[in-house]
């Protein structure tokens, strides 16, 4: 039978939760998870680009370069975006998601117009979701309410 983790009275009153991992694990996860996401994204882009054909050296190079760029932009976004105002914060995540989706679609021999339309659609949806999240979880100065 599962039980709730014990918390002190102060933690309950302040609304804090128990942090299972230490600070070192969190620092390591801020690099490892974007790199893993980049590798998955790079593999996906390379698979779209070869369109069912054989894996070549150029295809592997394309996948790794795509993974490197994706991971670098994601790490930068995770570092810089929380310091921005909520509107710009939401817009930066939306631009990242829209560009990533449009680029993946463009690698599967889709037209430029459909790639751009998909990117703009993903960007608009992501902006709405992220702006709502930051608007309801932050005050006007950008301080978290949690």
Non-local CB neighbours of 71 within 8 Å, separated by 6+ positions: 34, 35, 37, 38, 39
Same domain, 74 and 103: no
| The pLDDT of residue 10 is above 70 | no
Same domain, 89 and 143: yes
Q: Which helix (H) or strand (E) holds 87?
A: helix 86-106
| The pLDDT of residue 73 is above 90 | yes
pLDDT score, position 135: 85
Q: How far apart are CA 140 and CA 143, in angstroms?
A: 8
The average confidence (pLDDT) of the chain is 86
Query: Considering its fold, how many domains does the chain have in total?
Result: 2
Same domain, 112 and 72: no
Same domain, 116 and 145: yes
Domain-embedded: residue 66: yes
Task: Enter the pTM of the model.
Answer: 0.80
Would you say 78 and 34 are in contact if contact means Cβ atoms under 8 Å apart?
yes
Q: How far apart are CA 107 and CA 118, in angstroms?
A: 13
Same domain, 34 and 90: no
Indicate the SS3 state at residue 84.
coil
Give mean pLDDT, residues 32-37: 94
Same domain, 74 and 56: yes
Give the residue from 39, 62, 83 where a domain finishes. 83
Task: Identify the domain containing residue 37 by its residue range.
Answer: 22-83
Domain-embedded: residue 145: yes
Q: Residue 27: pLDDT band by 50, 70, 90 thresholds?
A: confident
Both ends of the chain: CA-CA distance in Å?
Answer: 30
Non-local CB neighbours of 58 within 8 Å, separated by 6+ positions: none
Domain-embedded: residue 9: no
Same domain, 27 and 42: yes
| The pLDDT of residue 133 is above 60 | yes
| The pLDDT of residue 14 is above 90 | no
CA dihedral 82, 84, 86, 87 (to 10 degrees): -130
Domain-embedded: residue 16: no
Q: How far apart are CA 120 and CA 112, in angstroms?
A: 12
pLDDT-wise least confident of 101-105, 122-126, 140-144: 140-144
């Amino acid at each position: 039978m599962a039980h709730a983790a014990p918390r002190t009275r102060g933690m309950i009153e302040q609304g804090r939760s128990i942090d299972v991992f230490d600070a070192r694990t969190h620092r390591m996860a801020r690099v490892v998870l974007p790199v893993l996401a980049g590798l998955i994204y790079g593999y996906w882009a390379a698979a779209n680009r070869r369109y069912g054909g054989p894996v070549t050296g150029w295809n592997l190079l394309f996948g790794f370069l795509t993974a490197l760029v994706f991971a670098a932009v994601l790490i930068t976004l995770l570092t810089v975006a929380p310091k921005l105002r909520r509107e710009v914060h939401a817009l930066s995540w939306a631009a990242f998601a829209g560009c990533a989706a449009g680029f993946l679609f463009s690698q599967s021999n889709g037209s430029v117009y459909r790639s751009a339309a998909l990117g703009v659609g993903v960007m608009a949806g992501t902006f709405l979701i992220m702006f709502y999240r930051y608007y309801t979880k932050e005050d006007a100065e950008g301080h978290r309410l949690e």
